[in-house]
Amino acid sequence: MTRPDGLPSGEDKARTVQAMFDRIAPRYDRLNRIMTLGMDAGWRRKSVASLRLRRGATVVDIACGTGDFCRELQSQGMEPVGFDVSFGMLSMASTSAPLVQGDGLRLPLGDASADGLTCGFALRNVVDLKALFEESARVLKPGAGAAYLETAQPDNAVLKVGHRVYFHKVVPALGGWLSDKEAYRYLPRSTAYLPPRAALLALLTEAGFADVKVRFFGLGAVQLLTGTKIG
């Protein structure tokens, strides 16, 4: 099924996303470092710090990809387990954390079994955000935190123009040159899947999270959504 804006939806979206990440996995990390000017490592570090977890805490990493978040969690003394639908991404992972090919909408975990949860740049890639947040709340212990890192659009008019040029022109050109042209044209367009900021926060609240907040990095080009499981 295709949306009016030409983007796939439903199961078509799920298949498209999985196949795309399988294709771009070999060069994904290298391109991330280039396109974010290396700032992505700091964003993940701040995301993990926002959870305020003790050493040894069990943390679920949804859409773990090649294990960036897992490595950061391990460096801070935590015990992550990563889940991703793309076997290609998992096969390129460089982490000693256990990794599972699985969908973040249907985690093979018990209720209230995790001390924290992370998710990096994947909200726009899931089929159902409401279901994702509800599943996140299900596996978290009462009082546990979740941190979702995702792209955003700056509010400042000047920064917004610069961001649009970089994200929708430079990124596809660079990605096409170094990796996969079709995939890196799709990734900037996929931001259209994200609902407005207020709606995102409302979805988290409705899923069972309290103290829901958003912080911005990279001059407003990246957002960090956080919340605490009610219970």
Identify the bridge partners of residue 149 per DSSP, sorted by sequence position. 120, 224
pTM: 0.95
- Distance CA(16)–CA(18), nearest Å, equals 6
What Rg do the C-alpha atoms of the chain give, in angstroms? Answer: 17
Domain boundaries, the chain: 10-155+184-229
Q: Identify the CA nearest to 175 among candidates 62, 71, 20, 43.
A: 20
Residue range 12-47, pLDDT digits in tens: 999 999 999 999 999 999 999 999 999 999 999 999
Contacts with 211 (C-beta within 8 Å, 6 or more apart), sequence order: 226, 227, 228
Q: Identify the CA nearest to 191 among candidates 214, 215, 225, 222.
A: 222
pLDDT at 4: 77
pLDDT at 3: 79
SS3 116: strand
Q: Identify the CA nearest to 10 among candidates 132, 128, 176.
A: 128
Residue range 108-126, pLDDT digits in tens: 999 999 999 999 999 999 9
CATH 3.40.50.740 applies to domain 10-155+184-229: no
Q: Is the sign of the CA dihedral 227, 73, 96, 149 positive or negative? A: positive
pLDDT along the chain (231 residues), means of 10: 85 96 94 92 97 97 98 97 98 96 97 98 96 98 98 92 91 90 91 95 98 96 97 82
pLDDT at 150: 97
Burial 159-176 (b: 16+ CB within 10 A, else e): eeeebeeebeeebbeebe
Question: Could you identify the residue written with the tokens 């596809």?
Answer: 172
